[in-house]
Chain A
Amino acid sequence: MSSPAAGGPKFPFGEDELHAYVDGQLSPERRAEIQRWLDQDPEAATRAAFYGRINTAMHRRFDHVLAEPIPREWGPTPVWRRRTRDRRAPSLRHVAIAASWLFAGLIAGWVTHDLLVPPKFVERLAQESTPITQQAAVAYAVFSPEVRHPVEVGADEDHLLRWLSNRMGRPIKAPTLDDAGWHLMGGRLLPVVDDTPGGGHVACQFMYENDKGERITLYMKSVDGSAGPSSFRYADEVEGISVYYWLDTKLAYALAGKLPKDDLKHLAWKVYVQFNS
């Protein structure tokens, strides 16, 4: 295959195939052919790379929506309760719909019991628990297995706390857990979609690691404080993630990890003391 002449129309395949290449919708053979051509055609290669980066950027911008909690009213509520405006007695059609519903539900429940792959972990979390514990557990589940990017800014970078304080709109400090064997790795900012007053749109998370490579995260987000401080609460999230959470007048805290309850409580207490001394 000769090198394409500079300037002229070059890419000898259809434009469609360049897109299909980017979108992973080609056979391996065709993909390899196009790859070989792109190695010699910088113009087409640049475009293909840009198309791919559009896809990546869209994921980075919108993927956080996947983890938002699903409102109850979006679930399969029965037809006769949903239609509050329609107060007439149920027609035969309604009864038939309800019956088919019940049947569909029974079948679906039975079939999905163990035959279907359960919804993804994050999606299950999104349906099951309360906002703070859920958000903390999701953030833990997403970032704690990360090898290369567990944190956004490392503990050794001195702008970590300044940056998080700026974005959170209040002074943020990272509690020390070294004497318990847990070392601060760093932190990150997280988006929050939250309708509670004073909730804000950002949360932050610090991650700690012990010598065995186990990790815990401390998740914090702003609250309006009207509820006042709370005592410790414990939530047993799915997949073995435990969360201790509490409130003071400015922030909600959630400490998450795959640890025995008592160990986590001990650490939560250490964190609590450092914010209240």
Chain B
Amino acid sequence: MTETTHGAGMARPNDEHPIVAQIPHLRRYARALIGDRSMAEDLVQDSLERAWSRFHLWREGSNLRTWLFTIMHNLHANLARNASRRPPSAPIDDDFSLPSRATQEDQMEVAAIEAALARLPEEQRQVVLLVGLEEMSYQQAAAVLSIPVGTVMSRLHRGRERLREMMTSAGGTPGLRRVK
């Protein structure tokens, strides 16, 4: 057994550094955006390397989270350009466990959401995730993606409508048509 009470392998230094506090968010977004775990982890690691080495460029008082997400977005955009169109990969993890006593309907939604997201155009997926999962304001999402707020809104609308089509079409979950 290699485990010890306080083991190696974890980031210990500077635990309280504000960048460290943002790592879980960068990671969640990358995972949802890319689908493939190791590619997402690589993207986060590369982004952090860049962020640590440029932290002196961050303007005190501006939003650190937006700054970090912008770095990651730019890096991802460069990689995507260079990789000459990777196939969108979003393998469903069969072992994923569903949370507390979710209703049948909720379970289907959770299972369907990843596949549906993977089929969205990336520019729409980014907005849907930044706003809906990372809970950024529309202005923050616009800053991260370097696009006008109006474009955020139209991508958000198209993305959500497309998800709705996919998730309520044949084979979808009937419960989604339910009126609240």
> B132–A74 contact, CB under 8 A?
no
- Give the tally of cross-chain contacts (CB within 8 A): 221
Q: Is B85 an interface residue (CB 8 A)?
A: no
Instruction: Name the residue of chain A whose CB is nearest to the CB of B96.
Output: A191
Min Cβ gap B130→A in Å is 11
Q: Is B67 an interface residue (CB 8 A)?
A: no
Give the distance in Å from the alpha carbon of A73 to the alpha carbon of B17 in the complex: 15
> A149–B101 contact, CB under 8 A?
yes
How many residues does chain A have at the interface if contact means C-beta atoms less than 8 Å apart?
87
B131-147 vs A: 1/0 string, CB under 8 Å?
A: 11101011000000000
Instruction: Name the residue of chain A whose CB is nearest to the CB of B175.
Output: A53
**Hey, which chain A residues are within 8 Å of B21, CB to CB?**
119-120, 123
**Hey, which chain A residues are within 8 Å of B23, CB to CB?**
70, 74, 123
**Hey, which chain A residues are within 8 Å of B4, CB to CB?**
130, 233
B88-127 vs A: 1/0 string, CB under 8 Å?
A: 0000010111111110001001101110010000000000
Please classify the interface of chain A as helix (H, G, I), strand (E, B), loop, or mixed, using the class held by over half of its residues: helix
Q: Is B156 an interface residue (CB 8 A)?
A: yes
Most buried by A among B10, B15, B37: B10
Give the distance in Å from the alpha carbon of A272 to the alpha carbon of B119 in the complex: 48
Q: Is A100 an interface residue (CB 8 A)?
A: yes
**Hey, which chain A residues are within 8 Å of B163, CB to CB?**
54
A172-212 vs B: 1/0 string, CB under 8 Å?
A: 00000000000000001111010000001110000000000
**Hey, which chain A residues are within 8 Å of B160, CB to CB?**
19, 50-51, 54
> B110–A46 contact, CB under 8 A?
no
Min Cβ gap B31→A in Å is 5
Give the distance in Å from the alpha carbon of A67 to the alpha carbon of B179 in the complex: 34
Instruction: Name the residue of chain A whose CB is nearest to the CB of B41.
Output: A71
**Hey, which chain B residues are within 8 Å of A53, CB to CB?**
109, 176
Chain-B contact segment, one of A2-10, A84-92, A101-109, A261-269: A101-109
Instruction: Name the residue of chain A whose CB is nearest to the CB of B11.
Output: A75
Instruction: Name the residue of chain A whose CB is nearest to the CB of B137.
Output: A25
Give the distance in Å from the alpha carbon of A120 to the alpha carbon of B116 in the complex: 31
A130-161 vs B: 1/0 string, CB under 8 Å?
A: 11110000000001001001011000000000
Q: Is A165 an interface residue (CB 8 A)?
A: no
> A65–B28 contact, CB under 8 A?
yes
Most buried by A among B95, B100, B137: B100
Give the distance in Å from the alpha carbon of A67 to the alpha carbon of B45 in the complex: 17
Min Cβ gap B118→A in Å is 12
**Hey, which chain A residues are within 8 Å of B5, CB to CB?**
129-130, 133, 233-236
Min Cβ gap A97→B in Å is 7
Give the distance in Å from the alpha carbon of A82 to the alpha carbon of B54 in the complex: 14
Q: Is A274 an interface residue (CB 8 A)?
A: no
> B24–A66 contact, CB under 8 A?
yes
Min Cβ gap A201→B in Å is 4
**Hey, which chain B residues are within 8 Å of A193, CB to CB?**
37
Interface residues of chain B, those whose CB is within 8 Å of chain A, are: 1-21, 23-25, 27-28, 31-32, 37, 44-45, 48-49, 52-53, 55-56, 93, 95-102, 106, 109-110, 112-114, 117, 128-129, 131-133, 135, 137-138, 153, 156-157, 160, 163-164, 168, 176-180
Interface residues of chain A, those whose CB is within 8 Å of chain B, are: 15-16, 19-20, 23, 25, 42, 45-51, 53-63, 65-77, 79, 82, 97, 100-101, 104-105, 108-109, 112-113, 116, 118-120, 122-124, 126-133, 143, 146, 149, 151-152, 167, 188-191, 193, 200-202, 227-228, 230, 233-236, 245, 247
Write 19 A-B pairs (CB below 8 A) sorted by A numbering: A16-B153, A19-B157, A42-B179, A50-B164, A50-B168, A54-B160, A60-B110, A61-B96, A66-B27, A68-B27, A76-B17, A82-B53, A128-B12, A129-B7, A132-B3, A133-B5, A189-B98, A202-B95, A235-B5
